[in-house]
């Protein structure tokens, strides 16, 4: 059954691919996007890659009037609007907190007034901090933060308090949050606020913790752009990619097409409600 779906931040990298997926399935899509210059350039024009069948409303998610206007006639919401990027969050603290925390709060207050059938909110792998490890004794332990002294001594691998080596393992959703940046903190705030309000007001809500998303439409000017795009840009300019430490660090990557599919499934699957995935 066709739905009318609002995507906040829908003119961005991930949002535009979600728009494509939902339109292809016969849904109507409305996009609320501030078209911030860092991502979209100084002219704030509708990006050429955004499907012409998507309705674009230019507005800031912190603007209650813009949000209420965008929610009119909407069945479900994908909340992707956010200030993104770990490094930048550490010196633009007020900006990240305003967009991510206050913006989400404004949306949630509007949803209390006008509930929807489903809310999907974009969270981040950054909430995990270091992943899980297995000790030589076979115990699962959270990766300890490396000290400045360890890094200066080129001791790259996390170790137990006794100095024993740790082996990395896949990290499940049950790992406690370890918030090592303002960005991570705000993404955790976004998911928790959404799940709390969703439960309190009967709005089925799903939080998806994206890992490093890659694919077409990534802009090098966007702080979210991951290492794959940085490597590609260097290779295209006949420069070798820069790899820090010992090169043995591990990181998960996920195609933007798979992320769009995951959001579609989260919207359509009743059992996903109330979960962090």
**Collapsing DSSP states into helix, strand and coil, what is residue 244?**
coil
Average pLDDT of the residues in 31-49: 92
Q: Which pairs from 95-99 meet CB under 8 Å and 24+ separation? A: 96/182, 96/183, 96/186, 97/182, 97/186, 98/62, 99/61, 99/62
CA distance 71 to 67: 6
Percent of the chain with pLDDT over 90: 73
Give the pLDDT confidence score for residue 249 in this predicted structure: 84
What pLDDT sits at residue 223? 62
Active site residues: 183
Per-residue pLDDT band for 228 (boundaries 50, 70, 90) equals confident
Each residue of 143-178: pLDDT tens digit? 888 889 989 999 998 888 888 889 999 888 899 999
Check pLDDT > 90 for residue 39.
no
DSSP letter assigned to residue 128: G
Of the pLDDT bands very low, low, confident and very high (cuts 50, 70, 90), residue 59 is: very high
The answer to whether 174 touches 89, Cβ cutoff 8 Å, is no
Please state, in angstroms and rounded to a whole number, the distance separating the CA atoms of residues 54 and 132. Answer: 41
**Residue 83: its pLDDT value, please?**
94
Q: What is the mean pLDDT of residues 209-214?
A: 93
Angle subtended by helix axes 256-268 and 13-24, to nearest 10: 60
Domains in the chain, please, with CATH?
4-128+177-220+253-272 (3.40.50.720)
């Amino acid at each position: 059954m066709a739905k009318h779906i609002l995507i906040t931040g829908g003119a961005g990298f991930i949002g535009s691919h979600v728009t494509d997926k939902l339109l292809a399935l016969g849904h109507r899509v409305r996009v609320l996007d501030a078209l911030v210059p860092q991502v979209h350039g100084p002219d704030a024009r509708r990006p050429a890659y955004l499907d012409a069948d998507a309705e674009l409303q230019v507005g800031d998610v912190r603007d209650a009037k813009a949000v209420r206007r965008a929610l009119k006639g909407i069945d479900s919401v994908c909340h992707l609007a956010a200030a993104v990027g770990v490094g930048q969050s550490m010196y633009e603290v007020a900006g990240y907190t305003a967009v991510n925390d206050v913006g989400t709060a404004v949306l949630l207050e509007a949803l209390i007034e006008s509930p929807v059938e489903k809310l999907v909110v974009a969270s981040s792998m950054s909430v995990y901090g270091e992943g899980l490890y297995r000790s030589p004794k076979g115990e699962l332990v959270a990766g300890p933060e490396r000290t400045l002294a360890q890094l200066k001594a080129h001791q790259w691998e996390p170790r137990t308090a006794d100095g024993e080596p740790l082996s990395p393992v896949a990290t499940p959703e049950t790992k406690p949050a370890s918030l090592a940046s303002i960005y991570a903190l705000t993404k955790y705030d976004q998911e928790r606020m959404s799940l709390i309000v969703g439960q309190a007001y009967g709005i089925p809500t799903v939080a998806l913790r994206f890992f490093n998303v890659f694919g077409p439409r990534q802009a090098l000017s966007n702080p979210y752009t991951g290492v794959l795009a940085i490597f590609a840009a260097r290779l295209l300019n006949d420069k070798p990619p820069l790899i820090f430490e010992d090169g043995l660090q591990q990181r998960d990557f996920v195609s933007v097409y798979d992320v769009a599919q995951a959001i579609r499934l989260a919207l359509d699957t009743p059992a996903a409600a109330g979960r962090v995935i």
